[in-house]
Amino acid sequence: MKLSTNLTNLGIAISLGTGNSSQPLEPAIDADQEQPRRSYVYAHLDDAGKIFYVGVGNGRRAWSTDRHALWHRDVQKHLHGKYQVRILTDNHSMEEAEELEAAWIAQCSSGLVNVQNMGRTLDFEAGARYHKLREANRALIQQAKSYEKHDLTEAVSMYARAIEAIAGYASINIETDLFGKLLEEEAEELGRSGEIEALDRLTMCLIKLGRSTEAVHHVNCYFTMYRRDLNLSVAKRITKRIEKALARVQK
């Protein structure tokens, strides 16, 4: 398979990113930009000609907007809905195209919004801290469950401590580069996730103890901090539990 070294044939200067290869990949001059043949590798580029997404497909896949949330965030919020489609190379079997896609992703990794990107830069120190704190907190939640059978009051205290501890790691972002920036933006806008299991168990325990008003307080505080968990089915279950408990108290 022959790849072109003349980028001007595409009518645009394409930024290839920071690959490690001594012979960087370049778009094929004979790639059909309108009706790509068989399986192909394509890229989405911003107005400056920088690749921000690489994909593989056939037919009209390159022009589809059926993409993941971070792709849409980047296109709408940073590129103002404007981007270009370029066919990097076509006329391959799917297996060949997937191999070429992986090579292009590795070459452009730091500037891509691709979810599947083995070359993405990660903050391993932050990752280790996140997993250490979360694992310890999840262990506390499991320990609290064992207390429910013989000491509901202590279980409540443990669940409350677990919820407080979430703040120590919920905002840690191990992703860097463009992907990490978009994830952080998404979290700031849509909210972060917590450990809703702790809230679920805490409300059950408080209601059993006849402390429904306190349960309401914890629910309100939790969802103020961890708004993304409102989308979970367990959040609806908690809300219904609280409403039933309050209704019984008011009778």
208 and 244 assigned to the same domain: yes
Q: Is residue 210 part of a domain?
A: yes
Q: What range defines the domain where residue 89 resides?
A: 7-111
Q: Quick check: 88 and 56 in contact, CB under 8 A?
A: no
Radius of gyration for the chain, computed over Cα atoms and rounded to the nearest angstrom: 25
157 and 194 assigned to the same domain: yes
Q: Is residue 12 part of a domain?
A: yes
* 50: Cβ contacts below 8 Å, ≥ 6 apart: 14, 15, 17, 111
Average pLDDT (30-46) is 97
pLDDT at 161: 98
103 and 136 assigned to the same domain: no
Residue that finishes a domain, picked among 111, 143, 165:
111
Query: Is the pLDDT reported for residue 7 higher than 60?
Result: no
26 and 47 assigned to the same domain: yes
Q: Quick count: other Cβ atoms within 10 Å of Cβ 139?
A: 11
* 98: Cβ contacts below 8 Å, ≥ 6 apart: 56
* 136: Cβ contacts below 8 Å, ≥ 6 apart: 165
User: pLDDT tens across 175-222, in order?
Assistant: 888 999 999 999 999 999 999 999 999 999 999 999 999 999 999 999
pLDDT at 207: 96
pLDDT at 189: 93
Number of domains in the chain: 2
Q: Strands, E, within 158-199: which ranges?
A: none
The CA-to-CA distance between both ends of the chain, in Å, stands at 78
Q: Is residue 54 part of a domain?
A: yes
240 and 155 assigned to the same domain: yes
Q: Is residue 231 part of a domain?
A: yes
Q: Is residue 237 part of a domain?
A: yes
Sign (positive or negative) of CA dihedral 60, 61, 62, 64: positive
Alpha carbon distance 24, 13 (integer Å): 15
Average pLDDT (51-77) is 97
Residue that finishes a domain, picked among 62, 81, 111:
111
Q: Is residue 211 part of a domain?
A: yes
204 and 153 assigned to the same domain: yes
129 and 59 assigned to the same domain: no
pLDDT at 9: 35
Q: Is residue 198 part of a domain?
A: yes
pLDDT at 45: 98
Length of the chain: 251
Query: Is the pLDDT reported for residue 114 higher than 50?
Result: yes
Q: Is residue 2 part of a domain?
A: no
pLDDT at 226: 97
What the block records as the tokens of 47 is 């107005």
Looking from the CA of 148 toward its CB, the CA atoms found within 13 Å total 18
Alpha carbon distance 87, 116 (integer Å): 19
Alpha carbon distance 191, 224 (integer Å): 9
Average pLDDT (58-77) is 97
DSSP string, 63-88: G-----HHHHHIIIIISTT--EEEEE
241 and 128 assigned to the same domain: yes
Pairing of strands 84-92, 51-57: unpaired
User: pLDDT tens across 138-155, in order?
Assistant: 999 999 999 999 999 999
Position with higher pLDDT, 226 vs 14: 226
Claim: this prediction has a pTM higher than 0.85: no
